[in-house]
Chains A and B, each alone.
Chain A
Amino acid sequence: MAATALKEQLNGLVNSMFAEGLLDEQFQQLQMLQDGSNPGFVAEVVTLFCEDSERILADLTKLMDQAVVDYSKVDAYVHQLKGSSSSVGTQNVKLACIQFRQFCEENNQEGCMRALNVVKHEYYHLRSKFETMLQLENRIQAYETKQQN
């Protein structure tokens, strides 16, 4: 498939992610920071975000499984995830974290459990889109490298 068609497919995917509320204007800021001198910047940030998020979600699951939940620790992790999702522009994950923190403040175990499930749902939905996005970027780059050679 020609690079142009791949780029159209990539643009369509990213646009749909904005339309769906998965991404916000902060992601556009990251896209603008990617250029010839930093061609893999978005991929680097997305990959780092996914690695961090999965680590945090695993830790949150363990904390919420405890007989006595330490809400300050839970809140600290959620705050971290909220911060990184805000920096990357992953809007729905950020909003889910904001809701989660409110339940943490109330020491509401049931609310926190539900909120954790929402965050997980939003994150894994986003991750599948990011995986497709990065695959398309890699294919475009491979095609363009081949063309240059």
Chain B
Amino acid sequence: MNSMHILLHQPPMCFYRHSSTSILCPPTPLARIWFSLHHDSGRASMGSTRRRVLLVEDVEINRVVVRRLVSELNVMLEEAENGKIAVDFIKQGRTYDLIFMDKEMPVMNGLEATKQLRSLGVTTPIIALSGDCLPCDRDLFIHAGANAFQAKPLSKIELVRILTEYGLSISHA
């Protein structure tokens, strides 16, 4: 297996790790090789594997719109109506390449869910979503472990930008 094969087969974001200063670091060469050996067999190309995204959002209309936005992209979307369901998904062993986390939700809000996911050892990038773009909200979410904070509603341009930034394939389905 040559180096180009290894470089072409990018592990999902959950292989990324937080450094001691909480900066997201790319996987080690050993992790990338391990991933290539165990996950890439049978794949024709990097673009053939659909990335898994979890949308944690209580308002159905918002989920409908994001679902439609994502339908044109090469991404598999799962949905959770509140933070507790998202945490339960993770405890069930589900893994994701990216998580969109709404702020205000019943049962368990986005801040608490983010904290719990990080305490479970989840390193998947979490993008906080909120209709209120207050600096204090952003700071709270980043402190809780979110990677970024994005205003709602999410436009297609912003969605593509975020997916690209976090290494998810955006080739059209």
Contact = CB atoms under 8 A, between A and B. Distances in A.
Interface of A: 26, 29-30, 32-33, 38, 41, 44-45, 48-49, 52, 76, 79-80, 82-84, 86-88
Contacts of A79: 104, 131
A99 to B, nearest CB: 14
Contacts of B62: 83-84, 87
B134 interface: no
Contacts, number: 50
Contacts of A26: 153, 155
Interface of B: 58-62, 64-65, 68-69, 71, 104, 106, 131, 152-153, 155-156
A108 to B, nearest CB: 19
Contact of B69 (A33, A49, A52, A83): A33
25 contacts: A26-B153, A26-B155, A29-B153, A29-B155, A32-B156, A38-B68, A41-B68, A44-B64, A45-B65, A48-B60, A49-B61, A52-B59, A52-B61, A79-B104, A79-B131, A83-B59, A83-B152, A84-B59, A84-B61, A86-B152, A87-B59, A87-B61, A87-B65, A87-B152, A88-B61
A86 B133 CA distance: 13
A80 B59 contact: yes
Given A38-B71, A45-B61, A83-B131, 20 more contacts: A26-B153, A29-B153, A29-B155, A29-B156, A33-B65, A41-B68, A45-B64, A48-B64, A52-B60, A79-B104, A79-B131, A80-B59, A83-B59, A83-B62, A84-B62, A86-B131, A87-B59, A87-B62, A88-B61, A88-B65
Contact of A33 (B61, B68, B106, B152): B68
A48 B59 CA distance: 11
Contacts of A41: 68
Nearest to A89: B153
Nearest to B154: A87
Contacts of B61: 45, 48-49, 52, 84, 87-88
Given A86-B131, A87-B153, A30 B65 contact: yes
B131 A82 contact: yes
A73 to B, nearest CB: 11
> Most chain-A Cβ atoms within 10 A of its Cβ — which of B68, B71, B155?
B68
Contacts of A48: 60-61, 64
A47 B58 CA distance: 18
Q: Name which of B58, B69, B104, B131 has the most chain A CB atoms within 10 A of its CB.
A: B131
B110 to A, nearest CB: 13
Contacts of A38: 68, 71
A72 to B, nearest CB: 11
A84 B131 CA distance: 10
